[in-house]
Amino acid sequence: MSATMRSIHVLGSAVFLGWALSSCGEELFPELKQVPGNVNAVGEAEQEPRSGAEVFAVTCALCHGETGDGQGIVVLDRPARSFQEGAFSFGNTPEALFRTISAGIGGTPMPGFGATLPEVERRRVADFVISLGPEQVPAAGAASILHVQERPLFVRGQFRAPVPGAAEVPRGLMVGTLDGLSWQYRADDVRLLAVRQGGFVDRSDWGGRGGSPLKLLGKPVHFLDGGTPGPAFATDGGAPLVARLRSTLVEGDQAWLRYRLLEESVGAFPGLAGPSAGYQPGVAMVHESCSAASLPSAAGYRRSLRLEPDGDPRSSSGDGGSAAAGAARPALLLHLASTGYSEMVNGPGNTTWLRLDDADPPVVMGLQLYLVAFEGGVGQPLAAVIRGLDGATALSLPASDAPLQVEWTTLLPSTLNDATWATMVEEIQQ
């Protein structure tokens, strides 16, 4: 079996559990490590890592050309990059190239090799790619540019309109993760607006006494619902819920947002509609963390959402505010896309995959649900129930006392047609 075949096989068997596990924050959710059927450890024969040049010739030259000139033998709907000029749009340091090679570039033919090449080979081929270009002049270090290096970073500030015609975002939150992706949130109501890749943030607003917007250095790879997404969660009856950010937290490699979901009526007094508006018992508490994800044929990202009943931390000291204590979390809906889906298939481990041709850009989504037992128990997989809702697509989240973990993957193939869908389904089901 060739190295590529072997690694695709390894990816296939571990595909979703691997994602679920790696995205769960080692300390936060140790119980998920014991999910039955975790086949992450599929025996991979010990093999001498290959040189960067060898990996390049076998795996990359097809698209990038043997000399890295971008003239490979595969005809792509957009040209692969020439490495000879050394002008990389997603960063030109060994670390940045390593991240691009690991995660791929969503929406382009550039796949992620995080699961199919060992780390040492990815690092070697990154060095090799740099060696193809001209000698590098070290960039003049602008002090205001923030890089994500050893830990995920959070930066708050103002954003320009994410897409033309959209409103400015006065309170934004950028999260930079170690996979080279960054996550552009509206902080007020915790809406993920866009996923970006490459550089992180230029804090040029520091020069302007906080009045000027942050400069986002990453290139957008996905605008969710066109950059103007609505509320992500709704009651089972379809009434939208308001999200309110409680805290941000770094755990190992993972960046977590913690927010509560409230009934819309909190916003009834526009002047007060803010995190300090009158307290209401929350419907649920959500922990969210994002990371890169890919199949051999397409790159994308994954959101891990963990929902718990919301006990108000202030209710113990207050009077009569403990309505939520001990209550189960009610059934909810998670908005997936504002278009319908055309096909649905199941993968191993109770995963459900949707083909969304009408989304802009077309995407493939994977969903996996677990009930997480409290005391050292294992995650109990649940079948995903998908609902159509006014032409949109939503996921049903059943009521529970136990935390519910949702792994929501969005893959951005460069084109989505019957042939690319068939390839993805094959990779999903392996």
Q: Looking at beta carbons only, is 51 or 158 nearer to ligand HEC?
A: 51
If binding means CB under 6 A, how many residues of this protein chain bind ligand HEC?
Answer: 24
The minimum distance between CB 188 and ligand HEC, in angstroms, equals 32
- Token pair in block for residue 147: 């890089």
Helices (H) and strands (E) in the chain, counts: 6, 19
State the DSSP H helix or E strand holding residue 15, giving kind and residue range, or none if neither: helix 3-22
Q: What is the DSSP string of 342-381?
A: SEEEEETTTEEEEEETTSSS-EEEEEEEEEEPSSS--EEE
Q: Please, are residues 395 and 348 in contact by the beta-carbon 8 Å criterion?
A: no
Rounded Cα distance, 366 and 347, in Å = 9
Longest dimension (CA), the chain: 72
125 binds ligand HEC (CB under 6 A): yes
Rounded Cα distance, 53 and 57, in Å = 6
3-class DSSP assignment, residue 56: helix
The minimum distance between CB 196 and ligand HEC, in angstroms, equals 13
Q: Looking at beta carbons only, is 197 or 304 nearer to ligand HEC?
A: 197
Q: Looking at beta carbons only, is 19 or 113 nearer to ligand HEC?
A: 113
Give burial (CB, 10 Å; 0-12/13-18/19+) of 237.
exposed
Rounded Cα distance, 61 and 67, in Å = 8
Rounded Cα distance, 227 and 162, in Å = 6
Q: Write out the binding residues for ligand HEC, residues 370-429 only, by CB under 6 A.
A: none
3-class DSSP assignment, residue 230: coil
Upstream peptide bond of 118 is cis (omega within 30 degrees of 0): no
Stretch that binds ligand HEC, among 19-27, 38-46, 61-69, 274-282 (CB under 6 A): 61-69
Chain centroid offset of residue 29 CA:
18
Q: What angle do CA 393, 399, 404 make, to 5 degrees?
A: 80
59 binds ligand HEC (CB under 6 A): yes
The minimum distance between CB 63 and ligand HEC, in angstroms, equals 3
Rounded Cα distance, 357 and 167, in Å = 27
Rounded Cα distance, 31 and 357, in Å = 36
Q: Looking at beta carbons only, is 74 or 161 nearer to ligand HEC?
A: 74
Binding-residue pattern over the window 136 to 155 for ligand HEC, x denoting contact by CB under 6 A: --------------------
The minimum distance between CB 391 and ligand HEC, in angstroms, equals 31
Strands 191-202 and 343-347: unpaired
The minimum distance between CB 14 and ligand HEC, in angstroms, equals 20
Rounded Cα distance, 418 and 405, in Å = 31
The minimum distance between CB 219 and ligand HEC, in angstroms, equals 8
The minimum distance between CB 127 and ligand HEC, in angstroms, equals 10
Q: Please, are residues 188 and 156 in contact by the beta-carbon 8 Å criterion?
A: no
The minimum distance between CB 425 and ligand HEC, in angstroms, equals 18
The minimum distance between CB 83 and ligand HEC, in angstroms, equals 7
The single-letter DSSP state of residue 168 is P
Stretch that binds ligand HEC, among 59-67, 156-164, 269-277, 336-344 (CB under 6 A): 59-67
Binding-residue pattern over the window 73 to 112 for ligand HEC, x denoting contact by CB under 6 A: -x-x-x-xx------xxx------x--xx---x--xxx--
Q: Looking at beta carbons only, is 71 or 350 nearer to ligand HEC?
A: 71
118 binds ligand HEC (CB under 6 A): no
Q: What angle do CA 351, 353, 357 make, to 5 degrees?
A: 170
The minimum distance between CB 195 and ligand HEC, in angstroms, equals 15
The minimum distance between CB 92 and ligand HEC, in angstroms, equals 7
Q: Looking at beta carbons only, is 129 or 336 nearer to ligand HEC?
A: 129
60 binds ligand HEC (CB under 6 A): yes
Q: Looking at beta carbons only, is 138 or 320 nearer to ligand HEC?
A: 138
Q: Looking at beta carbons only, is 107 or 309 nearer to ligand HEC?
A: 107
The contact set with ligand HEC (CB under 6 A) reads 55, 59-60, 62-64, 74, 76, 78, 80-81, 88-90, 97, 100-101, 105, 108-110, 113, 125, 129
